[in-house]
Structure 1
Amino acid sequence: MIRKGMKLYSILFGACPKCHQESMYVEKNSYILTDTLKINEICSHCNTRYRMEPSFFYGSMYVSYGVGIAFALIAFAVSYLIFESSLLVAFFAIVGTLVVFMPFIMRLSRNIWINLFLSYDKSLIKD
């Protein structure tokens, strides 16, 4: 079970990595393409700055490559190995998967990247 206080919670839901109380993104839906990467400057709950330095999220491009490869491998396994399609159909399945999941992959990569540098702080939560 994924719950607040776990890094996986912040990574999957885009929550503030320090307090997990609010979304880092202006728009929660990653498929509103004009707002996919629009991020709040600070967390209104714990005042964590999301952009620690200019171009901070450039590093997430490296993470995005790995996440994209994982999605491509899953698409290949499902189409070629499970459904026993041709390589051409498997190729189109990979391309389709990457196009459809592009906004999700971009956000997931940013979430992973920021969670490498910031950790949950339970002292920020007031009972």
Structure 2
Amino acid sequence: MLLKGTKLYSILFIKCPRCHKGEFLEANPYKLSNFNKVKKHCPKCDLKYSIEPSFYTGSMYVSYAVGIAVAVAVYMLTLLFGLQTSIGTLFTLIVVALVLAMPWIAAVSKIIWANFFFKFDKKIAQNVN
């Protein structure tokens, strides 16, 4: 695959930042019983996903930026489709989109945060099944 080996691949598919093969989360972001629970280690390359206690607290900053991007995307879509909406309706559309995207936003912000600190290792990726 063309993106394999890039941070974008790890982020889009929510895979291990080092080997791009292991799952990053315990379950799908929308499975609310394991809501965005990050695995302790990569099941493929054994990378420890947390450098220190409360490591993913920093992902809140990323989450804010991703949330703003979702809100801007909703606004741009209303402009693109020529919807004449009041400010209240637009606000409601943005809030609904953010609530529906919340599990995905939280998951993506954690994997983006992890990609700031871990890099892809081609040698490890080749040795992992």
TM-score over 0.5 for the pair: yes
| AA at the equivalent of 2:102 | M
Q: Post-superposition shift, 1:77?
A: 2.0
- Do the aligned partners of 2:23 and 2:43 also contact (CA within 8 Å) in 1? no
Instruction: Check whether the contact 2:70–2:98 (CA below 8 A) recurs between aligned residues.
Output: yes
1:89 aligned residue: 89
- Distance in 2 between the 1:68 and 1:34 partners? 22
Between the aligned partners of 2:79 and 2:122, the Cα distance in structure 1 is 45
Where do residues 37-116 of structure 1 align in structure 2 (5 Å cutoff)?
37-80=36-79, 82-116=82-116
SS in 2 for 1:39: coil
CA distance in 1, matches of 2:22, 2:4: 11
Give the counterpart letter for 1:65 in structure 2.
Answer: Y
Higher relative contact order (CA 8 A, sep 6+): 2
Counterparts of 1:108 and 1:93, CA distance in 2: 21
The equivalent of 1:30 in structure 2 is 29
Q: How far 1:80 moved relative to its partner?
A: 5.0
SS in 1 for 2:17: coil
How far did residue 7 of structure 1 move? 0.7
Structure 1 residue ranges without an equivalent (≥5)? none
CA distance in 1, matches of 2:106, 2:90: 23
Matched-pair contact (CA < 8 Å) for 2:22–2:45: no
- Structure 2 residue matching 1:71: 3-state secondary structure: helix
Give, in angstroms, the shift of residue 2 of structure 1. Answer: 5.2
Stretches of structure 2 that go unaligned for 5 or more consecutive residues are none
Larger CA deviation: 34-43 vs 62-71: 34-43
CA distance in 2, matches of 1:16, 1:55: 19
Tell me if the contact between 1:59 and 1:113 (Cα under 8 Å) persists in the aligned partners: yes
Q: 1:17 is matched with which residue? A: 17
Distance in 2, Cα, partners of 1:15 & 1:114: 10
Letter in 2 for 1:126: N
In 2, Cα distance between the equivalents of 1:41 and 1:76?
A: 37
What TM-score, normalized by structure 2, do the two folds share?
0.90
Superposed displacement of residue 67, structure 1: 0.5
TM-score by length of 1: 0.91
